[in-house]
């Protein structure tokens, strides 16, 4: 094979016109990239609702039958692969783009890396596939391959991966696809996304998967079409028994309504389809020793106790830390340093201590003391009578609060500065270049290019991203300021009500309480923020450094027919983007939220909502 492959490379180098999209040479890997491009999905990549018990699954079945008005439902049941979701776009039968899930709307372009995966067809097989076809799947690393990889890493003195999922995610995000090619990733296809308006000749999800198999995709052979809730339960039991024998990690079973017309009738919520659920396996637990408790300070000054544990593997992940939430929780658990405790990890949830297994000997057992001073800046901690958390009051000088505040300021929902991640922020703070948000807009190219892991192009990209962020919206700016209790929805409500920043800055608590969903506590915190001279000065500096937005016309009740209504937007629309629709609804007085709740009045579902 190696000799033939070298001959192929020589031939293609001499005759580039002979290179075909499905040539083995196209899987080897391209030269390293400098970064991943952000790409918008043709359709949102939805998440699944989780069912953690038989009661949860029964409730799903009852809701489904009730909405469809039927006595029984045919389902497609499949193992839930614990890997990395991927979107593959084929144009005229050839792989044109591959992207990670990202936030569901926008992911990262990993086309070069995905081309190295043998189970991903570079050119579709068979016939009758549409000119545009989007296929969703799960990229994973087989357990056997994972074990071999870690043996090699340890033999070379390198740090092994914690679990196959982390290894798959890390391999998929390598800037050098030649390294990805050595990782032997695999993919199972599990659904079809966009088809360019051309309907597929299938009436069920199960049939669709067989069609994908005909086109060259790898489909999990354990997938079954099952009858109603009894069939789903039997499938779950079968997969639970088979789980230890599989060469890939699974964390549950996915149950989907099989009939595609019924899926469309059921529709979707903002982030999840009504026609599917994930029956998760029980949370995995382990017993270890609570060795110490340390304290972390968050963006708002909240001090959280964190348990330091004797390392233990739970669900294939090495755990050495667990949250203790607050000191009331410590008292409820009755744990102390030196005790043996039961820890639990469910999915991606932060590990937590669930109970005391056995107390340590009195001679070595130490009570967990409530700190009096901030572990970061040594300020005296305080506690509001209405809260269970301790807080550091030094929001402008505490390094931890400044660091977390900067991370929030640059996040996607705020100023959205691409390339300014946690490690870069840490570097900027350690070098004394940044101490508060306004300092970001004073950074120069020379300062950035001198940082570790920055070259000329990446430094210029960061400077450009910072400069682009100056053009924003009032809602994003207010949210970026990190005012306690002011999330994205509240910031949008303030923008709609006041229209510009100055009225917000001078509004009394009573005036602020006239804004929908702003109560006395939130109004008090907004007022306190703008009354603080140093915080107000940060706002002034940001404006002086060129942060600008287009003021909006304040909502007039007479011109606000949707005032008091809560809307949720899902799917896509031909006439305008979801952001445009959101602005239109807000201009008419509506509150637009991200998910359906009991407060939702209207769900606006676009053409791709189900």
Give the chain's end-to-end CA distance (angstroms, integer).
46
Q: What is the DSSP string of 494-514?
A: HHHHHSSHHHHHH--HHHHTT
| Structure-token pair, residue 463 | 């400077």
Please report, for residues 130, 139, 188, 279, the alpha-carbon distance to residue 120 in angstroms, rounded to integers and kept in the order given: 18, 10, 9, 27
Longest dimension (CA), the chain: 80
Specify the 3-state DSSP secondary structure of 330: helix
Please report, for residues 223, 306, 356, 607, the alpha-carbon distance to residue 330 in angstroms, rounded to integers and kept in the order given: 44, 11, 10, 49
115 close to 122: Cβ distance less than 8 angstroms: yes
* Residue closest to 75 by CA, chosen among 213, 253, 271, 245: 253
* Residue closest to 293 by CA, chosen among 341, 344, 346, 348: 341
Please give the backbone phi and psi of residue 105, each rounded to the nearest 5 degrees, phi first: -105, -35
Helix 533-544 and helix 520-531: axis angle, to 10°?
Answer: 70
| Structure-token pair, residue 493 | 């409500």
Give the strand pairing for 548-549 and 471-472.
Answer: parallel
Residues annotated as catalytic are 80
Q: Which helix (H) or strand (E) holds 525?
A: helix 520-531
Specify the 3-state DSSP secondary structure of 224: strand
33 close to 40: Cβ distance less than 8 angstroms: no
| Structure-token pair, residue 322 | 């667990």
Cα separation, 221 vs 239, in Å, equals: 12
Specify the 3-state DSSP secondary structure of 170: helix
Cα separation, 272 vs 51, in Å, equals: 13
Cα separation, 498 vs 513, in Å, equals: 12
Helix 422-430 and helix 399-409: axis angle, to 10°?
Answer: 130
Cα separation, 78 vs 236, in Å, equals: 9
Cα separation, 501 vs 511, in Å, equals: 14
**Count of CB atoms situated within 10 Å of the CB of 546:** 10
Give the strand pairing for 602-605 and 566-570.
Answer: parallel
SS3 labels along 101-148: CCCCCEEEECHHHHCCCCCCCCECCCCCCCCEEEEEEEEECCHHHHHH
| Structure-token pair, residue 408 | 């929030």
Please report, for residues 278, 402, 599, 603, the alpha-carbon distance to residue 395 in angstroms, rounded to integers and kept in the order given: 41, 7, 34, 39
| Structure-token pair, residue 378 | 């040594």
Q: Which helix (H) or strand (E) holds 534?
A: helix 533-544
Cα separation, 309 vs 320, in Å, equals: 5
């Amino acid at each position: 094979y190696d000799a033939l492959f070298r001959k192929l490379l020589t031939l293609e180098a001499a005759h580039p016109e002979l290179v075909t999209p499905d040539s083995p040479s196209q899987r080897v890997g391209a030269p390293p990239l400098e970064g991943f491009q952000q790409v918008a999905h043709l359709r949102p990549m939805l998440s699944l609702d989780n069912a953690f018990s038989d009661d949860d699954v029964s409730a799903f079945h009852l809701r489904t039958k009730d909405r469809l008005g039927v006595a029984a439902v045919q389902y497609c049941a499949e193992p839930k692969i614990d890997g990395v979701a991927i979107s593959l776009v084929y144009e005229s039968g050839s792989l044109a783009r591959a992207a990670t899930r990202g936030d569901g709307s926008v992911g990262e372009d990993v086309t070069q890396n995905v081309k190295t995966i043998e189970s991903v067809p570079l050119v579709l097989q068979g016939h009758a596939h549409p000119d545009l076809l989007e296929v969703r799947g799960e990229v994973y690393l087989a357990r056997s391959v994972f074990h071999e990889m870690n043996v090699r890493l340890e033999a070379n003195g390198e740090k092994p991966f914690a679990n196959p999922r982390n290894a798959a995610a890390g391999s998929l995000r390598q800037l050098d696809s030649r390294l990805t090619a050595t990782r032997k990733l695999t993919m199972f296809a599990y659904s079809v996304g966009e088809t360019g308006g051309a309907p597929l000749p299938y009436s069920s999800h199960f049939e669709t998967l067989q069609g994908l198999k005909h086109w060259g995709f790898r489909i999990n052979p354990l997938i079954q079409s099952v009858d109603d809730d009894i069939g789903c339960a039997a499938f779950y039991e079968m997969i639970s028994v088979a789980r230890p024998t599989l060469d890939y990690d699974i964390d549950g079973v996915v149950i989907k309504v099989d009939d595609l017309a019924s899926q469309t009738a059921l529709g979707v919520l903002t982030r999840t389809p009504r026609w599917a659920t994930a029956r998760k396996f029980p949370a995995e637990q382990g017993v270890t020793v609570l060795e110490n408790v340390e304290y972390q300070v968050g963006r708002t000054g909240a001090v959280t106790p964190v348990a330091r544990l004797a390392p233990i593997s739970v669900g294939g992940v090495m755990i050495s830390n667990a949250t203790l939430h607050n000191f009331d929780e410590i008292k409820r658990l009755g744990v102390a340093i030196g005790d043996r405790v039961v820890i639990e990890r469910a999915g991606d949830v932060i590990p937590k201590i669930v109970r005391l297994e056995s107390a340590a000997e009195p001679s070595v057992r130490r009570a967990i003391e409530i700190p009096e001073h901030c572990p970061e800046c040594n300020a005296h901690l305080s506690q509001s009578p209405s809260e269970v958390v301790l807080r550091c009051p030094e929001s402008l000088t505490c390094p931890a609060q400044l660091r977390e505040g900067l991370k929030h300021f640059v996040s996607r929902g705020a100023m959205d500065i691409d390339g300014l991640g946690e490690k870069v922020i840490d570097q900027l703070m350690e070098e004394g270049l940044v101490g508060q948000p306004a300092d970001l807009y004073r950074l120069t190219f020379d300062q950035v290019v001198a940082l570790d892991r920055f070259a000329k192009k990446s430094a210029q990209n960061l400077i450009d991203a910072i400069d682009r962020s100056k053009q924003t919206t009032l809602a994003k700016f207010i949210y970026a300021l990190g005012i306690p209790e002011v999330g994205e929805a509240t910031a949008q409500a303030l923008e709609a009500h006041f229209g510009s920043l100055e009225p917000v800055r001078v509004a009394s608590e009573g005036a602020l309480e006239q804004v929908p969903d702003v109560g006395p506590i939130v109004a008090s915190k907004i007022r306190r923020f703008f009354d603080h001279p140093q915080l107000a000065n940060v706002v002034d500096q940001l404006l002086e450094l060129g942060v600008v937005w287009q003021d909006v016309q304040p909502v007039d009740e007479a011109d606000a027919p949707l005032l008091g209504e809560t809307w949720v937007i899902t799917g896509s629309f031909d006439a305008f983007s979801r952001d445009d629709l959101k602005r239109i609804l807000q201009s008419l007085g509506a509150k637009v939220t991200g998910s359906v709740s009991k407060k939702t009045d209207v769900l606006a579902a676009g053409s791709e909502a189900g």
